Amino acid sequence: MGTQPNSRRLTRDPKYVTIRNLLRDRILDGRYGLGNRLPSESALMSQFAVSRVTVRLALGALREVGLVESRQGKGYFVRPVRAIQELGRLQGFGEMMAAVGVEARSTVLSVAETPASAEVARALRVERAVPVIAIHRVRIGGGTPLSYDVSYFPVDVGRQLTGQDLAHADIFALLERELGVDLSYADLELEIAAADEAVAPHLGVSLGEPLVRITRLTHDRDGRPIDFEYLYGRLDSFQFRIRVPRW
């Protein structure tokens, strides 16, 4: 019989990925703190016994996901952890953070049945003051509070979510995987809003400090609005990307 291929060799990560992951972990556990300069390219080449090209690929991958920034002639410096929102795709917070290689979780502040305000009622197509389910969460990435989310659901959907693991799973994932809801599209609005008494303490910002606010209304495959949200994030916590074609 011929020699079988070495499966470990076939599945081994490229060297730059290994270096990227190690540097990423050191950033997330605080060994390279916010604003700190990473070791120089020469130091990393010596430490890992690799070429400058390999080191630059690793540093470029960290810069691509927003964990570091390069400064001409000075090197690479640690940036705040941020969620990268691809505006052309419907994504949950956990999906955004997974793209950065960062663990996401939530602190669930409250889950309650509440009368629909005029805006919530209009979005969810229910009568004003009809009960809806409101879920308040702080979304955490890499140990840092990045956003404060307030989500509203029709009671038939929201009541099913109350028994789910809201601390560790995206609501989008729960809707699809646990409730069997097929999500289709969302309408988003972005604006700058001032941090109020409810939001500021949870994001570690001052009262009145500017925040980015995303208003998002998500529909299922039948066009029914099932998830109406206000997402508040620090200005340094989100990066928005979209590909714009020229026709």
Q: Write down the pLDDT at residue 197.
A: 94
For the chain, the structural domain boundaries read: 12-78, 87-239
**Count of CB atoms situated within 10 Å of the CB of 69:** 11
Nearest to 162 by CA among 105, 113, 202: 113
Q: Write down the pLDDT at residue 141.
A: 85
Strands (E), the chain: 68-71, 75-78, 83-86, 104-115, 131-141, 144-154, 183-194, 210-220, 225-234, 238-241
Q: Write down the pLDDT at residue 122.
A: 97
Classify the C-alpha dihedral 119-121-125-128 as positive or negative: negative
CATH T-level fold of 87-239: Chorismate lyase (3.40.1410)
Domains 12-78 and 87-239 share a fold: no
Q: Write down the pLDDT at residue 242.
A: 79
Q: Write down the pLDDT at residue 246.
A: 84
Q: Write down the pLDDT at residue 199.
A: 95
Which residue type sits at 218?
T
Q: Write down the pLDDT at residue 5.
A: 44
Q: Write down the pLDDT at residue 33.
A: 78
Task: Considering the domain delimited by 12-78, tell me its CATH architecture.
Answer: Orthogonal Bundle (1.10)
**Count of CB atoms situated within 10 Å of the CB of 48:** 16
pLDDT averaged over consecutive 10-residue blocks of the chain (247 residues)?
Answer: 43 82 83 85 91 92 82 85 78 79 88 97 96 96 88 96 93 94 94 95 94 95 96 85 79
In degrees and rounded to multiples of 5, residue 143 shows phi and psi of 85, 0
